[in-house]
C-alpha cells in the first residue's frame, strides 16, 4: 500500500482538438489505464481554472499566447484559455479509467497558476496532497500524464522535495516542449533524483 500512481491532467483541453492540445496527448490514455492494475492507490490532478485566470493570455490585453509576463510569484507563461471550470475542456478524457481515490483540483485561484500536484506556483501554497499521502503511508510515487515538461515535471520535483520517491513513466507522458522546455525538464528531473522509466 506504499505506492501510488498520480495521473496528471489527462483532460480534453490537453488532448488533440483541445484548447491547449499536447501533440499525441491522447496516446497516454491506454498506457495509463493499463498501469492502474499495478497500484493500490490511484490519484488524479485536474486543472480547474476560472475564466478570469491570470495565466490566460486573453486576460492580458495585447498579449499573445505562449508569451510571458511577470506576476508576484515570478515569470508566468500566458496560455490560451483552457480547462475552464465546468466546461467539456476541463473534463477528463472520456476513455481514462476513473477508478481512483482522490482528485486534486488546481489552478482555481484566479491570481496564481498551479503546475504541481503539491504546490501552487508560488511554491508556498499547498494543495494538501503531501499530507494525504503521508496519512495513508504512501512513500513511492509514479507520475504519468500531461504535460511532461510542465505539470508532470513540477509535480515529480516537488514530490522529491517533500521526501517522496518519484518516478516518471515517460511512455505515459507527452510534452508541450515550449522553447526547449522538455530537455530542461528532463535535466532537472535527473539532477533531482527522479527516476525516468
Q: Where are the domains of the chain?
A: 3-50+82-196
State yes or no: pLDDT of 159 exceeds 90.
yes
9 in catalytic set: yes
Is 5:37 a contact under the CB 8 Å cutoff? no
| pLDDT category of residue 81 using cuts at 50, 70 and 90 | very high
Convert the pLDDT of each residue in 101-146 to its tens digit: 999 999 999 999 999 999 999 999 999 999 999 999 999 999 999 9
Q: How many CB atoms lie within 10 A of CB 98?
A: 10
Annotated catalytic residue within 13, 26, 83, 151: 151
Q: Which fold has domain 3-50+82-196?
A: Rossmann fold (3.40.50)
Annotated catalytic residue within 106, 113, 158, 173: 106
Q: How many CB atoms lie within 10 A of CB 37?
A: 10
Q: What's the rounded mean pLDDT across residues 49-66?
A: 96
- Cα-based angle 30, 34, 37 (whole degrees, multiple of 5): 155
pTM tops 0.85, yes or no: yes
State yes or no: pLDDT of 1 exceeds 90.
no
State yes or no: pLDDT of 80 exceeds 70.
yes
Q: How high does pLDDT run on average in the chain?
A: 96
Amino acid at each position: 500500500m506504499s505506492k501510488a500512481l498520480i495521473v496528471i491532467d489527462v483532460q480534453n483541453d490537453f488532448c488533440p482538438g483541445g484548447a491547449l492540445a499536447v501533440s499525441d496527448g491522447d496516446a497516454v490514455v491506454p498506457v495509463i489505464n493499463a498501469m492502474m492494475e499495478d497500484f493500490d492507490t490511484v490519484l488524479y490532478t485536474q486543472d480547474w481554472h476560472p475564466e478570469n485566470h491570470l495565466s490566460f493570455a486573453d486576460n492580458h490585453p495585447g498579449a499573445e499566447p505562449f508569451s510571458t509576463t511577470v506576476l508576484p510569484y515570478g515569470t508566468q507563461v500566458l496560455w490560451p484559455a483552457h480547462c475552464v471550470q465546468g466546461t467539456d475542456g476541463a473534463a477528463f478524457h472520456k476513455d481514462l479509467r476513473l477508478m481512483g481515490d482522490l482528485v486534486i483540483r488546481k489552478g482555481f485561484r484566479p491570481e496564481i497558476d498551479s503546475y504541481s500536484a503539491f504546490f501552487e506556483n508560488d511554491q508556498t501554497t499547498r494543495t494538501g496532497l503531501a499530507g494525504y499521502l503521508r496519512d495513508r503511508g504512501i512513500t513511492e510515487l509514479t507520475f504519468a500524464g500531461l504535460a511532461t515538461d510542465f505539470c508532470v515535471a513540477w509535480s515529480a520535483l516537488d514530490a522529491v522535495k517533500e521526501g517522496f520517491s518519484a518516478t516518471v513513466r515517460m511512455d505515459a507522458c507527452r510534452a508541450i516542449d515550449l522553447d526547449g522546455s522538455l530537455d530542461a525538464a528532463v535535466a532537472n528531473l535527473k539532477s533531482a533524483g527522479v527516476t525516468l522509466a
